[in-house]
Structure 1
Amino acid sequence: MSRALRSLVLLSAWLDIASAANIFVSHYQGTVQSLSLNQNGGRYTLTANGTVTLGGQPSWLTFDSANRILYVADETGYGTASIWSVAANINGGLTQTGKATAPLGSVHNVLYGDGYIASAHYQTSMVTTFKLPLTSSAQTLQKFALTMPGKGTIPSRQDAAHPHEVIVDPTGKFILVPDLGADLIRLYSINASTGMLTSCGQYTEVGGTGPRHGSWWNNSTLYIANELANTVHGFTVTYPASGCIALSRFQSITTMTGNKTAPTGTKVAEVRLKDNFLYAANRRDLTFNPNDSITAFSLDSAGDMTFQGITSSGGTYPRTFAINKAGDMIVIGDQTTANVVVVKRDTVTGALGPQIASMRIGTVGTAENDNGLSAVIWDE
C-alpha cells in the first residue's frame, strides 16, 4: 500500500471514530446554548459548549450562518420585550452583540431583503420589521397591526389575530404570515433594498384550521401545519405577471395513521422537508405515551402527501425540530421535558431511525405553558 493510500485509509478511519456537529438551543428561562454532538466509535454524546443569558423568554432562533449571528425572538408577554443578536463562535462560544426593544409576544423571525428582519408577534397581533444590525436605539421599521372581525370558530384560541410565523418565499420577493387566530395566510410583497413590506392579499382557510408553520418544496409548493385542525395543507404557489403571490390548496391530510382525527389536546407544531419527504411534529398526542411523536410523509412527483410512519419524539411537546443538511439526522426540541433529542434518518427511504442522543436543557416545563425548551437548530 502506498504512503498516500495509507494516509487516506487512516484519515477515513479517524473520521469514523471521532466527528462532531453543533446545535443551538433556546430555553424560555432566558438562555441560548450551544451543544456539541460527538461521535466516537459509533457512540454519540451531547455536551454543552457555550451559554449566553439574555433574559426575557427566548422563543425562536434564526441563524445567519455566513456571519455566524443568531437572531433571537422574545415571547415575553408583559413589561418590555426584546429582539437580540448573538455572535456564535466556531468553537461554541456565544456572545450577545445587539438588543433592541420590540413589541411583546414574538414567536418567530426571519431574515429578508438587504439586511432586514421580520417578526411575528402572536400575543400582540403584529408583524414588525427592523433594519439590521440591532442596537439599543433601533426603532421598528414597520408595524402591521393585524385585525379580524370578531372571534373565530374556536373562540378560546381565535379571540384575535395570532400570527405565528413569517415565511420568505423562494424568490425573496414575498413574505407569508400564517395567522392562527384569523384562519388566514397573509401575504406581503418585499422591497429588498428599503426593507418595506406591502400587504398584497391573503388566503382564507376554513374556520378552525389555525395555520401555524410552513415549509417550501421545489420552489412552487408550500406546506402549512395547522395547529387547531391538526392537519397539513399542500399549496401550489403561482406568481402572476403583476400583483401578489397566489396560493391554491391541493391537499389536506391529518398527521395521524390512516388520516384519523388526532386525539383531543393534540397540537401540530411544525413541518419540515427534505428531498421527497415531509415531517410534522405532534404535541400532546401521546402516541408513545408519555412521549409525543413525529409523523413522516412521502411526496410524489406532484407533491401529494402519503402517510409513511410515526415515531417517538423522545419527550413531550416537540415544539421545534430541524433536519441537518446531510439529511441523515434530525434534532428535536421537546419543550415540556426540556430535552434535545437526536435521531437518525435514512437518506433513501426518509424513515426516522433510532434515537442516538438526548440531553436535558435547563428546567423542565409544564404542559400548555410558555416554559421549558423553546427552539433547536443545527449550526449549518
Structure 2
Amino acid sequence: MAATLFASHYSGTVHTLTLDGSSLSISNTIEACGGMPSWLTYDAPGKTLYCSDETWIFGNGSISSIAVADDGSLTETANAPTIGGDVANVLYGGDDGRSYIAIAHYQTSTVSTFALPLSADAPALQSFTYAMDEPGPNRYRQDAPHPHEVLLDPTGAFLLAPDLGLDQIHMWAIDAATGNLTECAPVATEPGIGPRHGVFWTAGAAADAATTLFVANELGNSVTAYDVAYAARGCPALAARQTLSTFPGGGAAPSGAKVGEIRAAGAFLYASNRADRSFDPDDSVATFALSDAGAMAFVGLSSAHGSYPRTFAVNAAGDMLAIGDQTSSEVVVVARDAETGRLGDVVARVPVGEPGTPEAEDGLSAVVWAE
C-alpha cells in the first residue's frame, strides 16, 4: 500500500510525495508558506499541514495552514504574519490537543502562539521575547537568544523550547482552555553546548512514568538526557543525567559538523549529523540504544545518503525512516529494523527542488509522514 509524505523547500514550495514500493515521487506541488518554508507539522485528524516561514530580513515571517485532499493535493487556506525567523511549530491545547499552535522564532529571539483555525489577519495570542546581556561562549552563534524548537511534553500540559543562544530550555504551563502559557523557570544547560531540538521518551504506560527528555546539542555535537520529575502542582523539574557525543567512542566531531534533528522510536534514539561527511561525501545519522531507564548507549553511524540532514522522521510502523537532506535537496527513505534499531538500505529517494548551498538557508527544509 502506498504511503504519503510531505516536504518543504526553502524556495517557497510545499510538496506531496508518494511512496509506492521502491518508488518515491512528487505527486503535488504548490507555492505556499511565504518565501522560506522551514518546518511542517501534519494534523492527521484535521487533514491539515501547518507550515512555518523563516523569512526575517526582507519582511515578516508567517504561519500557514494547508488543506490536504484525499488525493494528496494541497491548498493553502490561510497565511498569518509573524514576527519572523520561524523555524519550528507544534500543536497544543484545547479539548483535542490541537486548538493552538506555538512557534519558535530563531532569528527574532521569540516564542509566539496563535489560536486555530488560522485566518489571514490573525494576531498572535502571546509572544515571549528574550534578551541577553552579553554573548555566550560561542560568540558567533550565541550572539542572541535563539529558540530553535517548541515541543509538547507527554502529558500535554507543558511546552518547552531549547534555546541555542541562551543555553537554556524555556518551559511554560499550558492553560488548555484558553491556550495561554505561563512561564516556568528556565533550565540552564552546559555553557556553550547550544541546545537545538528535543524529544520526550517514556518507558512506562503512564505519561509521567520514567519520562526522559533528550536534547540534541548543536554546538556540542552531543545529546543530553534529562530526567523529568512531575510535581503534584507546578512545573516539572529537569535534571541532566547523561551526555553522549553523536560520534563513535565519544570522540570529537569533525570540523564544521553540527547536530541537526533528534527522534525517538521504540527503544532507540536517532540524531542527525550535518556536514560531518562520515560517509564521504555523505553525512550521517547516529543511533543510540535506550535502556528501560532511558540510559543511552551509542550503537553506530549510518549514512544520511546525502548532504546536511536537517530533518528526518520515522513512520508509525517503525520500519522506515525518511531523511531530508537539505543541501543535496533530496528525500531518502531507508529501511529500519524495529527490533535492533539499525538503519538499512535505501528503499527509495527523490530530489525535491533545486540543491542548496552549504551552510545557507536554501534547499530542502522539512519532511514528515502523513500519519
SS of corresponding position for 2:2: strand
Q: Does 1:61 align with 2:77?
A: no
1:187/1:245 contact within 8 Å kept? no
Equivalent in 258, 268, 272 of residue 277 of structure 1 = 268
Query: In structure 1, what is the equivalent of residue 6 of structure 2?
Result: 24
Matched with 1:355 is 346
| 2:25 aligned partner | 47
CA distance in 2, matches of 1:165, 1:197: 16
Find 1:121's aligned residue among 92, 100, 105.
Answer: 105
211-220 or 62-71, larger mean C-alpha shift = 211-220
Q: Deviation digits for residues 285-314 of structure 1, max 9, x if unmatched?
A: 000011000011111111111111211101
Whether contact under 8 Å (1:87, 1:97) holds in the other structure is: yes
Inter-partner Cα distance in structure 2 for 1:259 and 1:223: 17
Structure 1 letter corresponding to 2:86: S
Structure 2 partner of 1:84: 64
Opposite residue 23 of structure 2, the aligned amino acid is: T
* Alignment correspondent of 2:81: 101
Q: 1:197 aligns with which of 160, 170, 181?
A: 181
Greater mean deviation of Cα atoms: 99-108 or 77-86: 77-86
Q: Which amino acid aligns with 1:378?
A: W
Cα deviation per residue 1:321-363 (whole Å; 9 max; x = unaligned)?
0000100000000000000000000111111000121111111
In 2: Cα distance, 1:311 partner to 1:45 partner: 22
d(CA) in 2 for partners of 1:76, 1:138 = 18
Provide the rounded CA distance (Å) in 1 between the counterparts of 2:116 and 2:149: 19
Task: Identify which range, 355-364 or 325-334, moves more after superposition.
Answer: 355-364
Task: Give the 3-state SS of the residue equivalent to 2:185 in structure 1.
Answer: strand
Alignment partner, residue 126 of structure 2: 142
5+ long unaligned stretches in structure 2: none
Counterpart residue number, 1:16 = none
Question: Which residue of structure 2 aligns with residue 4 of structure 1?
Answer: none
1:14 match: none
* Backbone CA RMSD of aligned residues: 0.8
Cα deviation for residue 133 of structure 1 reads: 1.0
Superposition pairs for residues 236-315 of structure 1, below 5 Å?
A: 236-315=227-306
- Alignment partner of 1:71 out of 50, 60, 75: 50
Q: 1:150 Cα shift?
A: 1.1
Runs of 4+ in 1 over 4 A off after TM superposition: none
Q: Which has the larger radius of gyration?
A: 1
CA distance in 2, matches of 1:286, 1:184: 29
- After superposition, the C-alpha distances for 1:196-239 in whole angstroms (9 at most, x for unaligned) are 11111111011111001011111411100000000000011011
Displacement after TM superposition at 1:80 (Å): 2.4
SS at match of 2:184: strand
User: In structure 2, the residue corresponding to 1:234 is in which secondary structure?
Assistant: strand
Distance of 2:5 and 2:42 partners within structure 1? 11
CA distance in 2, matches of 1:149, 1:169: 30
Kindly provide the amino acid, as one letter, of the partner of residue 20 in structure 2: N
Query: Who is 1:10 aligned against?
Result: none
Letter in 1 for 2:5: I
AA matched with 1:66 = P
CA distance in 2, matches of 1:23, 1:136: 26
Deviation at 1:267, TM superposition (A): 0.6
Shift of 1:319: 0.2
Cα-to-partner distance string for 1:65-94 (whole Å, 9 max, x where unaligned): 001100000100221221100011121100
Partner Cα separation in structure 2 for residue 141 and residue 22 of structure 1: 32
Identity over aligned residues, as a percent?
Answer: 51
The residue identity in structure 2 corresponding to 1:373 is L
TM-score by length of structure 1 reads 0.93
| 3-state SS of 1:258 partner | helix
Q: Distance in 2 between matches of 1:324 and 1:206?
A: 32
Q: Once the 2 structures are TM-superposed, how far is the Cα of residue 149 of structure 1 from its aligned partner?
A: 2.4
2:110 corresponds to 1:132: no
Tell me whether 1:225 sits opposite 2:216 in the alignment. Answer: yes
Tell me if structure 2 keeps the 8 A contact 1:56–1:82: no
- Please say if residues 32 and 52 of structure 1, whose CA atoms lie closer than 8 Å, have aligned partners that are also in contact: yes
Aligned counterpart, 1:13:
none
1:333 aligns with 2:335: no
Alpha-carbon distance between aligned partners in 1 of 2:25 and 2:164, rounded to the nearest angstrom: 36
Structure-2-length-normalised TM-score = 0.95
